[in-house]
Every structure is written in C-alpha cells, then in structure tokens.
A and B are shown apart, each in its own frame.
Chain A
C-alpha cells in the first residue's frame, strides 16, 4: 500500500467518495459507474480510468465543498462523452445532499461516499494505517428494521475495502442506527461517538475496539475533507 502525501490523499479520498456514491446510484439504476479514479498524479486526478474528468487537487476540493468547480478543459477534448456523463453523475450526487427526507438508497449512497473517504485514509494515511494494522473481521453498518447499509473490512493483504455482505460470514462488529435520519447524519459526520450510543441513536455489538478504531479514522478524514453543502 502506498502512503500518500496529504494533498494527494485528500484528492484520492474525495475521488473515491464520488466513485462510491455513484456506485450505489448506478447499482440502483442498473447502469455502469462512469467513475473509477486513478492514483493522483502531478497535482491532478482523473475521476475515471480512461480519461474522463481531470481535476486539480484544489478544484476537486472546491467541487465537493462548494458544489461547483471547473475541471481541466482538456478533459472534454480527450473524452467528451464520458465527461458529459460524468458531469450529470456529479449533479446527481450533489442533489443527494439537498434531500431533506432521503430514501434508504440515497442514504446508502451518501454513506458509501463517507466510507470510501475513510477507507482512503485507512489505506494511505500513516497514522490511520498504524491504528488499524493487524485488525481482522468486518464492520457492518445497519439501519434498524431496514437492513444493512454497507460492510467494510480488511482484505487478506491488509487493504481496507467495501465488502460484499455475506450471510455466511458474520461481521466482527455491528453498528445499528436507530433510523434513516441518524444514519444520514452519521454519513455527514454529525453524530457523536460518545453520546449517541447512550441516547440510543445507534447501538454497537461485537468487537468494539474495531469500530472505535474505524471511527477515529473516519473522524480524521472528516476533519481534513470538505463536506458537500446541504
């Protein structure tokens, strides 16, 4: 696993977030995901594997934090169709953050975006990697009575990823949100890890140190990264 320099890491985490949110939207709509970011390169990042939108690190932060910024214009000459598809996809993602009563799938998409940012830190941030080193088993995020939102865990090589939910493999720890709204707030970094389990906003079961570590890493990411405006 490569350790990334701070600016590269932030760009990578944001690009992975965009990929993650769109993955859920596309799975729901039954179409392929146009995003597949590539490792940062020379102060810019490609959101797709075959060209597509290219953003400078600063523009990407502006895109996520402010809702609009310009990609490198040469992107459109290189792969115009992919770029226009990507722009529409970005608008769809941006719209998610304006919904006042999101559906399960909308929350799942926003949650996935946040989790992908955390995973980028888990894999490429020195301190985060140190904290999660040697951990095993998966974390399942669930909404009470609605089902599993997402499952994450380390692959055998140590790379943290979103995992396919499997009925055979029991997660090591389960975080169960009381309702959709709390899960939504959690995805936006607006939950309190110390008080919310006490007031019943979410319940933890299983290997608590694993979720404590993952939670700390997610807060590291949230502290660094811009949050889309609601």
Chain B
C-alpha cells in the first residue's frame, strides 16, 4: 500500500468542517476509499499526481470534464489572456455572443443558446421551458438515468417530498413500447422526454440505443406533440463535435452540454430550436457568475480544438484500441470481460459479476499499478492519451490479470 498520509490528514481536517469530508460523485465512498487517494495536487495531459506524490494514469478525466487533457496549454493560455481583462463583470462580455454563435453554427438543429455552470442548472431549466411551451406538467425519463442534483431527478433519498417527483414518469431504456404506453396513458399531459444519448447509469453496464430506438422516440414525440430534450452533458464531444444526436442520427428539440465543453472550466449550455425561443424567454435563468468570461473563453477554444483535431474520432479510435486490448487480455486470462458503451467512454463489465465484487478487485489491483479505473462509473478516454500511453496502460492491466489469476479470483 502506498503512502496516503497527506490524503488522510486532509480528509481528517475536512470531515470536521465539511459534511462527509468530501461529497457528491467525488466522495471516496463512491469509489474505493481504501486505495484511491482523496485529494489531487496537480494534473497534466492524461496523468495526475495525488497529494502524496503518487502518479496516476487517468481514465476518469475528472468524470468527463477533461477531453483535451489536463492543463491543456492552448486553452489555458487563452484563459490567462482573458484573465488579464477580468472574469465576471456587471455585464456579459463579447465572448458570450461569440460562443453562442459558434455553438449554433456547430450544432445543426440549434438556433439559440443559453449558458450556466453545471448540467443540472440547464436540465432543470430545459424541462421548465418544455412545460412553458407545451403548458403540460409531466416529464418522462429513463429509469436509472442521471440528469443532475435537483429534486426531480437526483439519485439520493434525503430531503425529498412527495410532490418532487409527482410529475416525473420513467420507462426502461430502449423500451419504446413502454414509453408509448406511458404517452397513451398520460395523453395531453406530457411536456417532454429527457434522455441521455446512450444509457450510462452508474453501477451497471452501459447500454447503447437499440436499432431504431431514437427514431421511434422522435416519432412518438412528434405524434404526441411533446419535446425531445437531449441530456448530452456527459457525452458531448466524445462522439461528435456536432452533438451526440448526430452520431446516433436523430434530432432533439433542446440539448444540454457541459463537462468537456469547457475542458475543466465550469460551463454548461442549453441549445434549442427556434420554436422554443419565445418560451425560453419566459423561464427565468440566471446565476451570479454565469456570465464568467473565463469559462466561455475556455469553451470557445475547446470547441475549436474539437473541430480542428477531429477529437471525437481520435478518442473513439484510442478508446477502441484500449477496449480491444482490455478484452483480449481478459480472455487470455480466462475472464469474460466486455467493454460496454462507446469506445471513448468505456465501462468494463465482467459477465456473471452483477454485484461487482470482481470489478472492484480488478480496479483495486489496477490502483496498485497507478491506473485510475473507477469500479462504479464509466471511464473516459482523453485526447491527451496516445497509442503509446494506451499500450503502456494495457501492459499494466496485464500485470493485474496475472495477479488476479495467481490469487484465484
């Protein structure tokens, strides 16, 4: 076991002044608290260093917020340059207009764009716009899908009241028949369906859309006069720079992007069709630092790099090399492992390991080799990785399988 004294000392201080020490998706209990570090010191490219000085090869990319690598010089330089003029003012800065123009030119279905800081800010706002537009109360989502921290959708249990989810209906991902049954049952009452491009629920293998699923969803939306909201917060930029709907071949009415959009600078955006512009102006939206020019600058440069370097294809290809390598190595050591989800956002799943004991042991041993593999959340491929780094990671994975075999796991 490597030295974790600084991590432990910081956590000890934290738990006195922060409820739970660390909360949310980065809470140690969500991962492997006995072997993951709790605090990070610095990061560059596809590596990070924890507060005890241990180097990690990263496969989580700040849970998707990093696509072009940590401390990307092009983005950081642009941000530093903006910083000399300031970040938040009494008025928005010109970069806001520039970014909205860039986004509406990049995302084919969209005519307008608004900005906030987090995915949640805008998934919640988007369903309110849908309610305003349709004058209907109900929202439909997929069971187990994550759309943020607000009361209508958060995955926790505390602080809820019955009315929080009274108008939220759920169906099984990929089951368009169940969806249509809901639409029939609640005919004239549903404002929108909100879905992620593919199903990336935690603690479960990722599920891609079945053939024809998205077309059926779109047709149902048109048939019942309801809006299709795409929660592209986690996936944006890793399947297509033009939005994940382009990758899967359908058209949403609104879409929310965040995470990789700012490559680590907090920004989210909701884009929508012209018909919703009027309704969107009726739903109040603001935040103290939401006009922050730094994150908007970061997003603008990040978008341009995405396009220039065809980053979505790059990370998909790198991910494919990694996923194939992982599956082949597993097979060599008699493990039935599937890398689920898109190759740029893979999540491993050992067949027959529904309770994840084996996956947790695998990730724990991988941590010993300096690989940051999360057992309960999909992984992310960074464009800062190259073939060499992926092959190096696979050589470490081989050691892990070897040790697992020796231990008779």
Residues of chain B lying within 8 A (CB to CB) of residue A203 = 34
The answer for the CA separation of A213 and B29 in the assembled complex, in Å, is 14
Q: Is B11 an interface residue (CB 8 A)?
A: yes
Residues of chain B lying within 8 A (CB to CB) of residue A213 = 157
The answer for the CA separation of A195 and B158 in the assembled complex, in Å, is 17
Q: Is B135 an interface residue (CB 8 A)?
A: no
The answer for the CA separation of A204 and B29 in the assembled complex, in Å, is 9
Q: Give how many A residues have a beta carbon under 8 Å from the other chain's beta carbons.
A: 23
Q: Is B251 an interface residue (CB 8 A)?
A: no
Q: Is B47 an interface residue (CB 8 A)?
A: no
Residue among B20, B357, B360 with max Cβ neighbours from chain A (10 Å): B357
Q: Is B28 an interface residue (CB 8 A)?
A: yes
The answer for the CA separation of A7 and B263 in the assembled complex, in Å, is 53
The answer for the CA separation of A206 and B361 in the assembled complex, in Å, is 10
Q: Is B15 an interface residue (CB 8 A)?
A: yes
Q: Is B33 an interface residue (CB 8 A)?
A: yes
Query: When the two chains form their complex, are residues B356 and A207 in contact, meaning their CB atoms are under 8 A apart?
Result: yes
Q: Is A98 an interface residue (CB 8 A)?
A: no
Contact of A197 among B19, B28, B360 (CB under 8 A): B28
Residues of chain A lying within 8 A (CB to CB) of residue B28 = 197-198
Contact of B29 among A127, A172, A198 (CB under 8 A): A198
- Chain B 2-31 per-residue mask, 1 if CB under 8 angstroms from chain A, else 0: 000000100110010001110100011110
Q: Is B355 an interface residue (CB 8 A)?
A: yes
Residues of chain B lying within 8 A (CB to CB) of residue A127 = 157, 160
Q: Is A208 an interface residue (CB 8 A)?
A: yes
Q: Give how many B residues have a beta carbon under 8 Å from the other chain's beta carbons.
A: 25
- Chain A 86-120 per-residue mask, 1 if CB under 8 angstroms from chain B, else 0: 00000000000000000000000000000000000
Q: Is B38 an interface residue (CB 8 A)?
A: yes
Q: Is A137 an interface residue (CB 8 A)?
A: yes
Residues of chain A lying within 8 A (CB to CB) of residue B11 = 195, 198-199
Query: When the two chains form their complex, are residues A195 and B21 in contact, meaning their CB atoms are under 8 A apart?
Result: yes
Query: When the two chains form their complex, are residues A205 and B23 in contact, meaning their CB atoms are under 8 A apart?
Result: no
Contact of B356 among A197, A198, A200, A206 (CB under 8 A): A206
The answer for the CA separation of A209 and B377 in the assembled complex, in Å, is 13
The answer for the CA separation of A204 and B375 in the assembled complex, in Å, is 13
Query: When the two chains form their complex, are residues B29 and A206 in contact, meaning their CB atoms are under 8 A apart?
Result: no
Query: When the two chains form their complex, are residues A207 and B38 in contact, meaning their CB atoms are under 8 A apart?
Result: no
- Chain A 173-207 per-residue mask, 1 if CB under 8 angstroms from chain B, else 0: 10000000000000000001111011110011111
Residues of chain A lying within 8 A (CB to CB) of residue B158 = 216
Q: Is B376 an interface residue (CB 8 A)?
A: yes
B380 to chain A, nearest CB (A): 21
Residues of chain B lying within 8 A (CB to CB) of residue A195 = 11, 15, 20-21
Given A193-B29, A195-B20, A198-B28, A209 contacting B355 (CB threshold 8 A): no
Residue among B8, B27, B157 with max Cβ neighbours from chain A (10 Å): B157
Q: Is A81 an interface residue (CB 8 A)?
A: no
Q: Is A163 an interface residue (CB 8 A)?
A: no
Binding site for A on B (CB under 8 A): 8, 11-12, 15, 19-21, 23, 27-30, 33-34, 38, 157-158, 160, 203, 354-357, 360, 376
18 contacts between A and B (CB under 8 A): A131-B157, A173-B355, A192-B20, A194-B27, A194-B29, A195-B20, A195-B21, A197-B33, A198-B11, A198-B21, A198-B38, A205-B357, A205-B360, A206-B356, A208-B29, A208-B203, A209-B203, A216-B157
